[in-house]
Amino acid sequence: MLNAAALLLALLCAANAAEPDLADKLRNDSELSQFYSLLESDPIANSTLSLRSCTIFVPTNEAFQRYKSKTAHVLYHITTEAYNQKSLPNTVSSDMAGNPPLYITRNTNGDIFVNNARIIPSLSEERNSNGKRQIMHIIDEVLEPLTVKAGHSDTPKNPSAYNFLKNAEEFNVDNIGVRTYRNQVSLEKKESMFEAAGQHTFLVPVDEGFKLSARSSLVDAKVIDGHVIPNTVIFTAAAQHDDPKTSAAYEDLLKVTVSFFKQKNGKMYVKSNTIVGDAKHRNGVVLAEIVKANIPVSNGVIHLIHRPLMIIDTTVTQFLQSFKFMNENADNGPLRKFYEVIMDNGGAVLDDINNLSEVTILAPSNEAWNSSNINNVLRDRNKMRQILNMHIIKDRLNVDKIRQKNANLIAQVPTVNNNTFLYFNVRGEGSDTLITVEGGGVNATVIQADVAQTNGFVHIIDHVLGVPYTTVLGKLESDPMMSDTYKMGKFSHFNDQLNNTQRRFTYFVPRDKGWQKTELDYPSAHKKLFMQDFAYHSKSILERHLAISDKEYTMKDLVKLSHESGSVVLPTFRDSLSIRVEEEAGHLHDEYASHEWTGYVIIWNYKKINVYRPDVECTNGIIHVIDYPLLEEKDVVVAGG
């Protein structure tokens, strides 16, 4: 009996001995070798792993390759409680001197972050050593604590946001100064906001952002409140982009939200949006680049930003010029490329903008300039000047005003480029608002609206207007104003030819409201035109609207030819189209504006048809959106037959 018990005990011991502990797992995993070598050389970490329950956050070797600091702090990656992924609380105390906290964030995708590092869920391990529960989570970034410079032993090891602000020069933060902002916090007696216990996000402007002499005087108590997101810790990797968070400046008479967003090149920005302003704090968005992110403190996280939020103290011109001063990195600033294109074109466009008392700019993002189509146009200075002017509006146009214009129809707004209009469409409300703008055949989405300046607004868009990137078919397919013409051409197979890049098309496309008018004039015919059984008739009518040639015809071309010959004969698929085009003075049908303009009118078979949107450029031709189809009574009889 004793022999059997002894044998069982020996087997159990052998089984336990055979099962590797967490140290063995670390030692044997080649992807974690850099962290293990640090752990092995740290006696406190070794002792913890040998004797205590713990949770270890282990960066991969790849994470170490991206780590820019010279020193990695192994004890900052260890906490002396065992937490699996489900049981991780909002904060855990690290084993580093002073026990600075680690912040746990769960995003809407189910990802879990420790400070700015994501836990790789499939690689977590749980082991027991000497009866102690130990858990390892593999993370994709080395955790970086806030550390004190040599020679400052009295500086707190686990500082609050206020300790940091007060003694910023004594911490390792790339020698970035915050003296100006600190002075304003002291002047406004807002120290308590930075001392408050809890978990908050602090946005701190650096000294570089106060080069404009009067700017610091604009940092009052409410502006300081607008730089704090209370009761929420946001590290950049875990941030939900364009998700507005309520700032401490959110009350009945002043409402300011703050959100994060990221450029495709990885640069992080933060923006304030003053939704409800007052006499001292204007409505609008202010952007700031994060120059030093994710500084953990005992009561949250600090991000150092290149300029203060909420303060609108530059003109549109000064705002664009600011991108050349940020630093020598050509990727810096969301509109750096736009500014460079203006200056490469001679800079006159910037002078024109500067001379406008009220102005709105549709500014293409840096990524919008990467298209090969644009590279070809950049060499043509005259064409490029026209394209740049297409992005400039002589009016102060924010989203609310665009929405007013868009109440009953697609908003039509003139640009400084002669006879060129932009067409805005607004869908959705609040954070779900989607704004699109069409100009020169290009549909762009507003990716950042209402960047406020003293004399207007800047809206950042995702395409360069006036440089087409789609065929006639692609434009028809995507433009909501042309959907009826697209549907009619699709079931009659008329559209099949419109992707051909070997031909040049001039297509007079009736807008949807034009087809709706035919329903009133010829109700029976209208119904049949959109039926499969009458596809032959639909196709014949559309053929009349499409000129096929070795060149496309702009409205100016057609006006000139009309003046020279009395009329213009354009080749179509079966026959030809004879029209006359005239310029005619008119005005915008817009109760919020009284712009006089010169429009175009097509005269066909004694009918005058307004051109609603001229010169919608495509890669294989041009579209002119017209107010009524080229339709006559005999077509109706045929269609009805």
The angle at the Cα of 115, spanning 182 to 179, to the nearest 5 degrees, equals: 10
The DSSP output letter for 236 is G
Token output for 21: 């502990």
Asked whether residue 181 is assigned to any structural domain, the reply reads yes
Asked whether residue 11 is assigned to any structural domain, the reply reads no
Confidence of residue 640 (pLDDT cuts 50, 70, 90): very low
Token output for 638: 């045929």
Asked whether residue 12 is assigned to any structural domain, the reply reads no
Is the same domain home to 478 and 627? yes
pLDDT in tens, 427-483: 888 778 899 999 988 889 999 999 999 999 999 999 999 988 899 999 999 888 899
What burial letters (b/e) apply to 302-322, b meaning 16+ CB within 10 Å?
A: bbbbbbbbbbbebbbbebbbb
Token output for 193: 């906001």
Is the same domain home to 493 and 617? yes
Lowest mean pLDDT among 170-184, 420-434, 496-510, 619-633: 420-434
Is the same domain home to 599 and 636? yes
What residues form DSSP beta bridges with 125?
136
Whether residue 626 is predicted with pLDDT greater than 90 in this model: the reply is yes
211-223: average pLDDT: 90
Q: What is the CATH number of the domain that holds 169?
A: 2.30.180.10
The DSSP output letter for 407 is S
**How much of the chain exceeds pLDDT 90, in percent?**
63
pLDDT in tens, 352-381: 999 999 999 999 999 999 888 888 888 889
The per-residue pLDDT of the chain, averaged, comes to 88
Q: Which helix (H) or strand (E) holds 517?
A: helix 512-521
- Would you state the pLDDT for residue 19? 59
Contacts for 325-330: CB closer than 8 Å, 24+ residues apart: 326/289
Residues contacting 491, CB < 8 A, separation 6+: 532, 535, 538
8 Å CB contact between 614 and 556: no
Q: 276 — phi, psi (to 5°)?
A: -120, 115
Asked whether residue 151 is assigned to any structural domain, the reply reads no
Using DSSP's 3-state secondary structure scheme, residue 183 falls into helix
- Give the total residue count for the chain: 641
CA pair distance 197, 269, nearest whole angstrom: 26
Is the same domain home to 262 and 374? no
Is the same domain home to 214 and 306? yes
Q: Containing domain of residue 182, as a range? A: 161-313
Region at 419 (left for phi over 0; alpha for psi -120 to 50; beta for the rest):
left
CA pair distance 441, 120, nearest whole angstrom: 45
Asked whether residue 466 is assigned to any structural domain, the reply reads no
CA pair distance 634, 371, nearest whole angstrom: 47
| Number of domains into which the chain is organized | 4
Is the same domain home to 599 and 547? yes
Is the same domain home to 408 and 478? no
Beta strand 200-205 pairing with 228-229: antiparallel
- Would you state the pLDDT for residue 296? 97
Torsion of CA 102, 107, 110, 111, to 10 degrees: -50
pLDDT in tens, 88-108: 999 999 999 999 999 999 998
